[in-house]
Structure 1
């Protein structure tokens, strides 16, 4: 997108945005590529970010590793397994904007995820693959091997290439894959479909 008419004092470089937010340049680039922070490129290929977008992001509440309290009965329980604090913060902000009927819980590694699954049996899980210790693939395989967890909606999120995934056995049947940087419109659609299906199932069971 071209914004040559924007005053120079209202925009900043990626480096300046990183300084204002107290994060790395690569983290700012990830936020821009994910669509969380608005940006555009000049004719020379240099990225420019509106200062207002940086300040909005800085003022927004950050994610934590705990569960968001349920707003009402009938919410879908969603577990997000992600070891990057930045990515967890991005998820938190996206979920807040979507206002889906979900109760959200974060885990930062596979071990925590397995403990959380044993305690609460979430209905939907989004899991990163590459993590230290027990990675996302191991968590997914554990769930698929347990008949009592057969109804869980599972999506894996990763920057791995198709070749890397194939070497690890590919995406298991019934599991949805989202590449990084995440297309949040597609993720929102997936979660809306999960919520609708769970609500229909609850009505049939009532």
Structure 2
């Protein structure tokens, strides 16, 4: 590949208007293609940068999820995450998996509770540490509504096991994924949720 067809992490960050660390996160998550030279310097194809820049954003799936006509074969997913970079990572992973999911994104627990009452999503992926209502308080509130008992809930957090225990541990029936998220594991979980939704009711 010619030198003019690749760029550094710094240049990719400038082209995308994001930080170098954000570009590194996208590369490590496999969202943007890259490789390392023998000297250990990361190189990114300009085509990969442009593809990321022009890819559809979360609004497309958000609009699908907000549609009043819920398709029976579509799994409604609500992601509660206050970090915009992390939301972008989830969005692009979902797009690559090809699963029948429609995702909406919220920045905090208050927004999430409003969306849950309106949409009754099948899957909730929630961060814990957020401004205002944190993930634990949000999940505790959800547990107070029997009509939401069938929702699949997963916590995605960078908290250590000890910090989680200090907050009460992982609630019964809730799945935990540590950050940085292993997207292969998360994809397996989402595939299981899709398979569960596809099964006819007993």
TM-score by length of structure 1 reads 0.86
Measure how far apart 1:11 and its partner are.
2.2
Measure how far apart 1:79 and its partner are.
0.8
The alignment status of 1:10 with 2:5, answered yes or no, reads yes
Change (3 A) 1:66 1:36: closer
The answer as to whether partners of 2:77 and 2:103 remain within 8 angstroms in 1 is yes
Runs of 4+ in 1 over 6 A off after TM superposition: none
Please give the per-residue CA displacement for 1:62-116, whole angstroms capped at 9, x wherever unaligned: 2239723268433222111111222222222222222222232211111000111
The answer as to whether partners of 2:127 and 2:155 remain within 8 angstroms in 1 is yes
The residue number in structure 2 matching 1:33 is 28
RMSD after superposition = 2.1
Q: Which moved more, 1:84-93 or 1:24-33?
A: 84-93
The residue number in structure 2 matching 1:59 is 54
SS in 1 for 2:76: strand
The alignment status of 1:197 with 2:192, answered yes or no, reads no
The answer as to whether partners of 1:125 and 1:153 remain within 8 angstroms in 2 is yes
SS in 2 for 1:204: coil
Please give the per-residue CA displacement for 1:37-85, whole angstroms capped at 9, x wherever unaligned: 1222333333222222111111111223972326843322211111122
> Which residues of structure 2 form unaligned runs of 5+?
none
Please give the per-residue CA displacement for 1:112-147, whole angstroms capped at 9, x wherever unaligned: 001111222211101111211111222122223333
The residue number in structure 2 matching 1:126 is 125
Question: When the two structures are aligned, how many residues end up with a matched partner?
Answer: 198
> Which residues of structure 1 form unaligned runs of 5+?
1-5
The answer as to whether partners of 1:14 and 1:49 remain within 8 angstroms in 2 is yes
Q: Which moved more, 1:129-138 or 1:16-25?
A: 129-138
- CA–CA distance in structure 1, aligned partners of residues 193 and 81 of structure 2: 20
Equivalences for 1:17-166 in 2 at 5 Å? 17-64=12-59, 67-69=62-64, 72-166=71-165
- CA–CA distance in structure 1, aligned partners of residues 108 and 32 of structure 2: 26
- CA–CA distance in structure 1, aligned partners of residues 76 and 58 of structure 2: 17
The residue number in structure 2 matching 1:170 is 169
Q: Which moved more, 1:175-184 or 1:42-51?
A: 42-51
- CA–CA distance in structure 2, aligned partners of residues 131 and 164 of structure 1: 15
